[in-house]
Structure 1
Amino acid sequence: MSGEATLSLSLGLPIPITPGQVDLTSGFAQRESSQRLLNTAGIRPAPQKSQRPGLTSVRGAELIEYAGDSHLMTIAPTGAGKGRSVIIPNLLTYPGPIIVVDPKGENYAVTARRRREMGQRVIRLDPFGVIDGNSDGLNPMDIFDLLNMDIETDSQMLAEMLSIGNRGVKDPFWDLNACGLISGLMAHVALTKAQPERNFSALRQFLMADDVVYKLAVLLDTQGKTMNRMAYEEIASFLQMSERDTRPGVLATAHSYMKAFLSKAVDKALEKSSFTLADVVAGEPLSIYIIIPPDKLLSHRALLKLWVGTLLKAVTSRKTIPQQRTLFLLDECGQLGNFPYLESVITLCRGYGLQVWSFWQDMSQIKKLYEMSWSTMVNNCAVLQIFGAKNYVVANEFAQLVGADANEIRGVGSDEQVLVINGEDPIRAYRLDYLTDARYKGMYDVNPLYAGNAPRGL
């Protein structure tokens, strides 16, 4: 098997066509050459293709895979089986480094042993103890150790990650100035604190002190002449605001951005990294599971965004592309909220040895969060995978996306999917199932959420 093939991502299984079966089509155009699609898509070659009513099917391939280096997008509702048929099969087989958002900890429980057997070092960012109380850590301020780091712009980037999703909807004044204050303080911490004190705890001690204004004024008086210029100007700008209304409002806004980081558990997970970002940059064999339970995804969205953004920043700082691509499996991507950095990665950052596989509940979720750029994000994904359309409204959204009839989409079986690869005509295929497919036998562990019960979709 070639090096490229070993990095293939598993998508599904072909639907076998009975010899002599009459081929029917309604709505989807027939392809002149399925072999051309198979080659360009990275699917293992199939000797022929056939069609089932309304949808093109591939016949003869052992496994439908994607071996390209572009991004992927899966759209399916909650409970449709994204974990069981997409995320877990790829965690069990993909040999390169993986970073996965794993809200319930199911992916970790089922696949961590297998990842270790594949030679991967497994990291579990689990501040709320979903698996147990022994979480690894990731300090976002470690980005200041990257070779191409820039104190000012990287401080602004981290501050933006904290603020976006927590901002008010009326007057941007408060958010812009609160973000500026945090970025200035972060730059100061980055330049004056050494490990292990250079972390969010040090930032919080400045921002949430008993008398913030007095302590910041003393800081400028005693260190202003040697302080980083951006840090000085942002702090000075804050101190010059009206002490009656403006300054307290900006400070309260800045405090609101830090709410997700006040608990001891989160503070500990942010204090010190269990691994180095240099290893992420180098493409070392790491499997990083980010576990934030569903009931904390809204209140701690900033934490999820901060960790995902830090790891994306590390990968996009590469000067040399490693042999194996780093795969981001971003389940429940909508829970990140509007995330301009992720948008930039999907639309602009191809070529860093980075692949983002994002998972969404429906098209409305994408359109709401990325009103002006959703189509660009979709167009920059070489693979679109859709399944689980339960009603006409959702089926119609899917149909418009792939150029089909909504009734055809609704007719896709519960164990089937529609794949659009490299902009070619849609493929109707079976979904994978790690529980029933013999190729995964012995690789996975029991999902504790379904211990003793027949598992449903994940």
Structure 2
Amino acid sequence: MHIFPRIIALLSMCVFVSVTLAGWYYMLDFDPSDVEWWKWLYAYFIQTNELPHEILIPFGGGFVAMIAVMIAGRILMEQAGNKTLSGERDSGSLHGTARFAEDAEVKGMGYLRGKGVVVGGLQDKFKNAAMLRHDGPEHVLAFAPTRSGKGISVVIPTLLTWPGSTIILDIKGENYAKTSGWRAAQGQNVFYFEPTAPEGSARYNPLEEIRIDTDFQIGDCMNVAKMIIDTSGKGLQNFWEQEGFSWLSTAILHVLYRVRNEEKRKANLADVLHFLSVGDDEAGDAEQKLDALVKAKADGKKKDEDGFEKLLLDMEGYEHGNEGADKEVRRGASRMRKRAGNERSGVSSTATAQLAIFADPIIARNTSACDFTIADLMNADQPTNVYLVLSPAEIGRMKALIRIILNQMLTRLTAKMSHNDGETLYKHRMLLMLDEFPQLGKLDIFESSLAFMAGYGLKAFLITQDLTQLQSAYTRDESIISNCHVRIAYAPNKIETARVLSDMTGKTTVVQRKRSVSKNLERGGASLSESVSETSRSLMTPDECMMMTGLKYDEDGRVTAPGEVLVFTAGKPTIKGQQYLYFFDEDLNARSKLKPSGNVKAGTQIESRNSTHPAEGVASRSKAGGS
């Protein structure tokens, strides 16, 4: 087993002797086969007590040659020990080559170019933190548990540096309070949309984005209806949801034309609720109808079967002024009229129940018109920013409305690609900054469009607490992770996420050297043997992932130091860096202190019937904590 080292030793001695004797022969014509030469050498040594100079020089050359052979043999022995069926590998890569990226590699990946979204920080040898930013078209996914610092380390720094347009899902409104002032100061359009805010919210009416009088109108109505009925994103799972969706699509199309023709304005979802609840034969404007609806519900009024029959007959006979709308509404109304009474009531109730939030006069007012359009987002003269603000308590109630808005934006912004000399035409790139996005339920168009939306100038920055939250919305077969080529992670709280992160870091090879001593009891003596083995281990085990350093706080609960972050880039070594906290950066901290902007379009404050803006309240609720 250990014969190879003995062969190397024997070969080294042979080389030593051969080189030495060759040198003697060259310098003295020394003939090792002639005994007289050996007698002469012995006599010389006895008389002088030293060897001739011509003898010593070849002796040194032989020693050097022996050492060279021993080194070469050692290298060959190491390589021979690492042979595999597929070829040869060095001992450091036999079972895997995963490693952390070096500073030069991080630079080569483009993270230090000073452009793009913020994904973390990297400390140099002087302990100065450099901002890691990604500016490619690839999407970013962050695994960041609650209170891990995602807001102060990636969301706010990104929004204080990103030059293009943005759509921000802003739970609690902290991102608006910290970043809208700077974005408005750059001359950008800023819209604060909080549907449950009694004051200060911009308005957005999803029905204004339905392209009536075009071939797109039926599909647009269906998209809105599906988001309203299917609030979880799990699909239309039963008969009532499927038929309620069809009926609601028909009702939306009818109300759009009827309100336009008779009231000379654009319909909204409160109009649809009113139509489905109290019929279409009551006079008065939208707010009067809404008040009547609320009063009717409070008094326990219900439409009788004759009233609903009249409504359906009226729909069938109504002239919408558009042939496509006439056919679709007649088809839907006729189908509804042929149903039995209980079935008709169940289908109508399914559609009406999901519209109940628009009975809230605050929500109805904030969705009554549009202060911005989807076309503004990427093609206005200046970048446009829309903060979709929700309080945690309102997420469940507002889920359908936010789903409608995101669905419409993605549908319209990826509907058609215009080119000019091979370049996609849009004025501003769009960043989708979606924190806690799984809480909105599954958005089919969102998952499917991730694969191609980058070509339309859209970049997604998605944040989820952990793998469980993501898979609860998008199932275990989700394609979100695979479509995000850049992934960042803080210390996870759940072992399932830790295992995924460990797998993402990859396998590395650990070389182990073992020595053992054996004694021969019969003959005496001992022998020393040495073995080298290569074993595999994860670059970071699940336990090591869960023990990554988090934010550090002082006694007053203020953040004093960043935590660790892993940055995964497809096809590149993992970056192990640290969080980049905006308030440790003088420039970003100054930007964050600019007063929240209110609703600003093209440098002009938007005056709405909502009077003042709740910016100060939002700002006062915000803290530089580890959100």
Is the aligned partner of 1:328 residue 2:425? Answer: no
**RMSD of aligned residue pairs (Cα, Å):** 3.2
Is the aligned partner of 1:302 residue 2:414? Answer: no
Q: Matches of 1:420 and 1:366 in 2, distance apart?
A: 18
- Could you list the per-position Cα deviations for residues 179-220 of structure 1 after superposition, in whole angstroms to 9, with x for gaps in the alignment? 001111222234444363322122222212244443122221
Describe the shift of the 1:253–1:325 C-alpha distance in structure 2 as closer, same or farther (beyond 3 A): same
What residue number does 1:42 align with? 110
Any unmatched runs of 5+ in structure 2? 1-94, 115-121, 279-302, 419-424, 507-539, 551-562, 595-615
Deviation at 1:311, TM superposition (A): 2.3
Kept in 2: contact 1:76–1:387 (CA 8 A)? yes
What residue number does 1:350 align with? 454
Q: Which moved more, 1:215-224 or 1:285-294?
A: 215-224
Q: Give the match's secondary structure for 1:266.
A: helix
Q: Matches of 1:390 and 1:31 in 2, distance apart?
A: 23
What residue number does 2:346 align with? 249
Q: Which moved more, 1:203-212 or 1:77-86?
A: 203-212
Q: Matches of 2:386 and 2:236 in 1, distance apart?
A: 38
Is the aligned partner of 1:174 residue 2:240? Answer: yes
Is the aligned partner of 1:156 residue 2:222? Answer: yes
Matched AA of 2:548: V
- Could you list the per-position Cα deviations for residues 387-412 of structure 1 after superposition, in whole angstroms to 9, with x for gaps in the alignment? 13245454224324544421231232
What residue number does 1:186 align with? 252
Deviation at 1:332, TM superposition (A): 1.3
* Aligned positions of 1:410-449 closer than 5 A: 410-414=546-550, 415-445=563-593
Describe the shift of the 1:400–1:247 C-alpha distance in structure 2 as closer, same or farther (beyond 3 A): farther
What residue number does 1:118 align with? 186
Deviation at 1:372, TM superposition (A): 5.4
Kept in 1: contact 2:101–2:573 (CA 8 A)? no
Aligned partner (choices 336, 356, 365) of residue 268 of structure 1: 365
Any unmatched runs of 5+ in structure 1? 1-25, 47-56
Matched AA of 1:412: M
Aligned partner (choices 277, 298, 310) of residue 214 of structure 1: 310
Q: Give the match's secondary structure for 1:62.
A: strand
Describe the shift of the 1:241–1:281 C-alpha distance in structure 2 as closer, same or farther (beyond 3 A): farther
What residue number does 1:337 align with? 441
Q: Give the match's secondary structure for 1:435.
A: helix
What residue number does 1:21 align with? none
What residue number does 1:85 align with? 153
Kept in 1: contact 2:98–2:505 (CA 8 A)? no
What residue number does 1:140 align with? 206
Q: Matches of 1:382 and 1:247 in 2, distance apart?
A: 48
Describe the shift of the 1:271–1:35 C-alpha distance in structure 2 as closer, same or farther (beyond 3 A): same
Kept in 1: contact 2:243–2:347 (CA 8 A)? yes
Q: Matches of 2:402 and 2:181 in 1, distance apart?
A: 24
Q: Which moved more, 1:393-402 or 1:282-291?
A: 393-402
Q: Which moved more, 1:111-120 or 1:132-141?
A: 132-141
Describe the shift of the 1:27–1:267 C-alpha distance in structure 2 as closer, same or farther (beyond 3 A): farther
Is the aligned partner of 1:197 residue 2:266? Answer: yes
Matched AA of 2:269: F
What residue number does 2:18 align with? none
Kept in 1: contact 2:240–2:347 (CA 8 A)? yes
Aligned partner (choices 444, 469, 493) of residue 365 of structure 1: 469
What residue number does 1:377 align with? 480
- Could you list the per-position Cα deviations for residues 268-302 of structure 1 after superposition, in whole angstroms to 9, with x for gaps in the alignment? 11110012322125254111101111101012210
What residue number does 1:100 align with? 168
Is the aligned partner of 1:457 residue 2:526? Answer: no
Q: Matches of 1:354 and 1:148 in 2, distance apart?
A: 26
Q: Matches of 1:140 and 1:418 in 2, distance apart?
A: 39
Q: Matches of 2:401 and 2:575 in 1, distance apart?
A: 38
Q: Which moved more, 1:194-203 or 1:67-76?
A: 194-203
Kept in 1: contact 2:233–2:441 (CA 8 A)? no
Matched AA of 1:443: R
Matched AA of 1:204: L
Q: Matches of 1:442 and 1:349 in 2, distance apart?
A: 34
Q: Matches of 2:440 and 2:622 in 1, distance apart?
A: 31
Q: Which moved more, 1:219-228 or 1:99-108?
A: 219-228
Aligned partner (choices 377, 392, 409) of residue 311 of structure 1: 409
Q: Matches of 1:317 and 1:146 in 2, distance apart?
A: 16
Kept in 2: contact 1:384–1:421 (CA 8 A)? yes
Describe the shift of the 1:333–1:166 C-alpha distance in structure 2 as closer, same or farther (beyond 3 A): closer
Q: Matches of 2:249 and 2:152 in 1, distance apart?
A: 41
Kept in 2: contact 1:338–1:370 (CA 8 A)? yes
Deviation at 1:230, TM superposition (A): 2.4
Deviation at 1:169, TM superposition (A): 9.2
Q: Matches of 1:62 and 1:318 in 2, distance apart?
A: 39
Kept in 1: contact 2:100–2:574 (CA 8 A)? no
Describe the shift of the 1:349–1:234 C-alpha distance in structure 2 as closer, same or farther (beyond 3 A): farther
Tell me the TM-score normalised to structure 1 length. Answer: 0.82
Q: Matches of 2:233 and 2:546 in 1, distance apart?
A: 39
- Could you list the per-position Cα deviations for residues 430-454 of structure 1 after superposition, in whole angstroms to 9, with x for gaps in the alignment? 1111112234131012897796997
What residue number does 1:395 align with? 498
Describe the shift of the 1:158–1:408 C-alpha distance in structure 2 as closer, same or farther (beyond 3 A): same
Q: Matches of 1:193 and 1:281 in 2, distance apart?
A: 30
Count of matched residue positions in the alignment of Structure 1 and Structure 2: 419
What residue number does 2:387 align with? 289
Describe the shift of the 1:452–1:102 C-alpha distance in structure 2 as closer, same or farther (beyond 3 A): closer
Q: Matches of 1:453 and 1:235 in 2, distance apart?
A: 50
Tell me the TM-score normalised to structure 2 length. Answer: 0.61
Q: Matches of 1:353 and 1:169 in 2, distance apart?
A: 29
Q: Matches of 1:330 and 1:110 in 2, distance apart?
A: 16
Identical aligned residues as a percent: 23
Kept in 1: contact 2:208–2:266 (CA 8 A)? no
Kept in 2: contact 1:28–1:425 (CA 8 A)? no
Q: Give the match's secondary structure for 1:271.
A: coil
Deviation at 1:323, TM superposition (A): 4.1
What residue number does 1:11 align with? none
Describe the shift of the 1:36–1:256 C-alpha distance in structure 2 as closer, same or farther (beyond 3 A): same
Q: Matches of 1:229 and 1:146 in 2, distance apart?
A: 14
Matched AA of 1:379: S
Matched AA of 1:260: I
Kept in 1: contact 2:233–2:442 (CA 8 A)? no
Matched AA of 1:417: V
Describe the shift of the 1:112–1:206 C-alpha distance in structure 2 as closer, same or farther (beyond 3 A): same
Deviation at 1:147, TM superposition (A): 11
Q: Matches of 1:214 and 1:373 in 2, distance apart?
A: 47
Aligned partner (choices 527, 544, 550) of residue 408 of structure 1: 544
Q: Give the match's secondary structure for 1:429.
A: strand
